Structure 1
Amino acid sequence: MATSVSTQDPFKYTTIAHSGHHYCSPLSSETAASLLAALQLQAGALVLDAGCGKAALLRDLLASQPVRGVGVDINPAFLAEAANAWTASNPGDGRLTLIASQLEQHPLPAGGYDAILCVGSTHALGGFEPSLALYRQWLKPGGMLLVGEGYWKRPPSNEYLMTLGATEDELSSHAKNIARALAQGFKLRLAMASSDEEWDWYEHMYCQAVMQYAASHPQDPDAPAFRDRARRWHDSYLAAGCSTLGFGFYLLEKS
């Protein structure tokens, strides 16, 4: 029997599921530090975090380099967490601007961005290639784009696709992601992929957060459906996802 969900908050589940994550993607702090260091930005550079979530990657960048950041997302809970975390760690530092908006509707800087981060958020602009095309317009000449995108390690089963709510043509391979970026006029500076350990940790924390919420909020009418959804998702990851779905990081330069 299906369990009904009463929530009117479309972001409630993902907010709960990512409550224990620093990055809302299969990314370790060590890998993140390597990717950010490879950006090699000038002091004062303006960086967009597109679909920023908690803006953790952008906040880490601002903490390590003297640049300015703009984070755009539509989840108010994530943005509030980002703002609180930044203010607590950097009182009086106004280099971070957070905007609640659809990506294509946020106010663009007249001169463009020096760099754009988009990790796991290309769906907000219709997919990988449409996002690359638009970000290329938003970047200054020579600007850098760090994009995180899923890919198939092997052809997905129909059962796994049903769990994802996806079709096979929504993703390609790691190599084809690179080829698609080059076809959009970018130069490849670096390509990396999430490790099995990064995936396992991300998925474990995702499921654990939902289970803990359901156990501690028995009066929430959404809790049973959330618990069942997380369990099905994690079972699917263990059965097929860990061997089927990859996540790549592509550092690209606008040529």
Structure 2
Amino acid sequence: MDSNDRARLARFTHAHHPICAPLSDDSVTALLGRAVTTGQERILDLGCGEGAWLLRALAAHPDVTADGVDINAGGLTAARQSAERLGVDRRLGLHHQPAAEFTAAHPYDLVFCVGSTHAFDGLLPTLTAARRHLAPGGRVLIGEGYWQREPDQAALDGFEATREDFDDLPTLVDKVMADGWVPVAGHQSTQAELDDYEWAWTGSLAEWALDNPSDPLAADAARLADEHRHGWLHGYRDTFGFVTMLLRRQD
């Protein structure tokens, strides 16, 4: 599959789980409640996908403005259409480019990067990029994976990862703090949230393949769903975790 085909299939995987991370609606609401404190923030989402985080913040706070950056044109189109339906499109700017290349004429009070640190080659480079966009006293909401326990080979194979790709949670937090950040709120995804995300990811893709058997990508979609489900259930299900943290600078 080429990159366009992969991007198309990726959209199907989140048909029933619009937050592209293992977080429930209640968890998203709680995190946004901690992150958006004045209701007048200027927000940036680096790797916004279909803009789910931004759309929720804009819909809840009529004085919030936001920008989203992503390389997936289909996701940005969906974000724009959703913003129009919600009546928040005038307060949302969408930018089709790599998140690492985005520049803005003004700083932001809040920067999101939940589940997209790969765009910057890791957690600490993501925080460095976020800091460049941050206004004094601003906050970063970041979501990152970690190892809940030492991964065995089945977990590494299932996730297509190496041991070095993630830290355990204490090491992850220590690195963030050593980089000059203070966690002021956080949420570790529960096993139910992690499982719900995987069932939605694989199930949505598998169902699309069943419903569209004549599509040239149907066989690839079914294979990808099967491979992902096997890697999760037989590999990393009890090993991989996900944490979302609200951070402020020590200085």
Q: State if a TM-score over 0.5 links the two structures.
A: yes
| Residue 252 (structure 1) aligned to one of 232, 236, 247 | 247
In the other structure, the counterpart of 1:151 is: 146
| Residue 190 (structure 1) aligned to one of 177, 185, 188 | 185
Report the Cα distance in structure 1 between the residues aligned to 2:136 and 2:76, rounded to whole angstroms: 29
Gaps of 5+ in 2: none
Task: Check whether the contact 1:54–1:78 (CA below 8 A) recurs between aligned residues.
Answer: yes
Task: Check whether the contact 2:13–2:204 (CA below 8 A) recurs between aligned residues.
Answer: yes
Give the drift of 1:7. 7.6
3-state SS of paired residue (1:94): helix
In the other structure, the counterpart of 1:100 is: 96
Give the drift of 1:43. 4.2
Report the Cα distance in structure 1 between the residues aligned to 2:131 and 2:4, rounded to whole angstroms: 36
Give the drift of 1:13. 2.0
TM-score by length of 2: 0.93
Give the drift of 1:64. 1.7
Q: Letter of the 2:47 partner, please give it.
A: G
CA RMSD of aligned residues (A): 1.7
Report the Cα distance in structure 2 between the residues aligned to 1:173 and 1:152, rounded to whole angstroms: 5
| Residue 161 (structure 2) aligned to one of 153, 157, 166 | 166
Report the Cα distance in structure 1 between the residues aligned to 2:7 and 2:36, rounded to whole angstroms: 34
In the other structure, the counterpart of 2:22 is: 26
Task: Check whether the contact 1:42–1:67 (CA below 8 A) recurs between aligned residues.
Answer: no
3-state SS of paired residue (2:69): strand
Aligned length: 249
Q: Letter of the 2:101 partner, please give it.
A: Q
| Residue 39 (structure 1) aligned to one of 31, 35, 38 | 35
3-state SS of paired residue (1:41): coil
Q: What is the 5 A alignment of 1:48-197?
A: 48-65=44-61, 66-90=63-87, 93-110=89-106, 112-197=107-192
Q: Letter of the 2:77 partner, please give it.
A: A
Give the drift of 1:156. 1.5
Give the drift of 1:19. 2.0
Give the drift of 1:17. 1.2
Report the Cα distance in structure 1 between the residues aligned to 2:238 and 2:5, rounded to whole angstroms: 32
Report the Cα distance in structure 1 between the residues aligned to 2:18 and 2:12, rounded to whole angstroms: 13
Report the Cα distance in structure 2 between the residues aligned to 1:183 and 1:8, rounded to whole angstroms: 39
Give the drift of 1:106. 2.1
Report the Cα distance in structure 2 between the residues aligned to 1:161 and 1:242, rounded to whole angstroms: 11
> Does 2:216 match 1:238?
no
Task: Check whether the contact 1:72–1:98 (CA below 8 A) recurs between aligned residues.
Answer: yes
Q: Letter of the 2:87 partner, please give it.
A: N
Do the aligned partners of residues 40 and 79 (structure 1) sit closer, same or farther apart at CA in structure 2, a change above 3 Å counting? Answer: closer
Gaps of 5+ in 1: none
Report the Cα distance in structure 2 between the residues aligned to 1:101 and 1:50, rounded to whole angstroms: 10
> 1:209-243, CA deviations, whole angstroms, 9 ceiling, x for partnerless residues?
11111112212232222212211211221233221
Report the Cα distance in structure 2 between the residues aligned to 1:130 and 1:161, rounded to whole angstroms: 23
Give the drift of 1:160. 2.5
3-state SS of paired residue (1:11): helix
